[in-house]
Amino acid sequence: MSFAEQLATATRADRDYLLAAPAIAEALAGRITLARYLAFLSQAFQHVRHTVPLLMAAGSRLPVRLQWLQRGMIHYLEEEVGHDEWILADIAAAGGDATRIPDALPHPATDALVAYVYDTVQRRNPVGIFGMVHVLEGTSVALALAAADRIQATLGLPDAAFTYLRSHGKLDQEHVLDLQGILGKLTDPADHAAIVQCARVLFRLYGDMFRGLDEVVVPMAATARRTA
């Protein structure tokens, strides 16, 4: 069994926890509100804005034996630049006040998700960041394109409000293949353990983020102008 297969097996229960989040099932069933979609985008921004800094930090901490990973990290990093800006544009296109998002505090689950990956990279094993890639990219491939179509049909929003979901869903198909190639070259049991542990925790925290979306309020742009 390849390590990629071992990773999928070891994290299956945690992945199921994420996918059982009511917000995901309701979105795919066409029962989503604009407020919840905006809440999702706001939290996506809060973790996506850290992808590039995390990759930079992980790349700078790789041991000599794993220097070959830097090329793959640089490639991935270059493709992730600007995705947080896509999300802000989507929020604006959906009628939300995107100017409020960068300074807003993330939901505690989103905050914990980001903090855990930083801790993994800085204090534990930087290779553990591929656990994050497994969770976020794999989930995107499985759900993003279908969710975008269903949400758009439900809310009647323009294509411009789905740049992140649609572009990320297609791009992440390539990233998943890249990840499988990287995982196939990693042989150290300690690296395997770090990736599995990070993935397990992130599936849980990502699931908690989805379960907390109704606690997140994104102001509408028109409302913000009237009260300014």
pLDDT-based confidence at 168, cuts 50/70/90?
low
pLDDT per residue as tens digits for the range 191-211 = 999 999 999 999 999 999 999
**Those residues with Cβ within 8 angstroms of residue 210's Cβ, 6 or more apart along the chain or in another chain:** 18, 21, 22, 23, 24, 40
Residue 78 has a pLDDT of 85
Q: CA end-to-end span of the chain, whole Å?
A: 59
Residue 226 has a pLDDT of 40
Q: What is the DSSP string of 96-112?
A: B-GGGTTTSPPPHHHHH
CA distance 116 to 87: 22
pLDDT-based confidence at 82, cuts 50/70/90?
confident
* Mean pLDDT score, 96-102: 97
Mean pLDDT over the full length of the chain: 91
* Mean pLDDT score, 46-61: 95
pLDDT per residue as tens digits for the range 180-192 = 889 999 999 999 9
* Whole-structure pTM value: 0.93
**DSSP tag of 218:** -
* Mean pLDDT score, 40-67: 96
Residue 172 has a pLDDT of 53
Task: From 70, 43, 66, select the one nearest 136 (Cα to Cα).
Answer: 43
* Mean pLDDT score, 78-85: 88
Residue 174 has a pLDDT of 66
Please, what are the domains in the chain?
Answer: 3-215 (1.20.910.10)
Percent of the chain with pLDDT over 90: 78
Rounded to the nearest 5 degrees, what angle is found at the Cα of 1, between the Cα atoms of 141 and 6?
50
> Is the pLDDT at 25 greater than 80, yes or no?
yes
- Do residues 97 and 219 lie in contact, with contact meaning Cβ atoms separated by under 8 Å? yes
pLDDT per residue as tens digits for the range 111-160 = 999 999 999 999 999 999 999 999 988 887 668 888 999 999 999 999 99
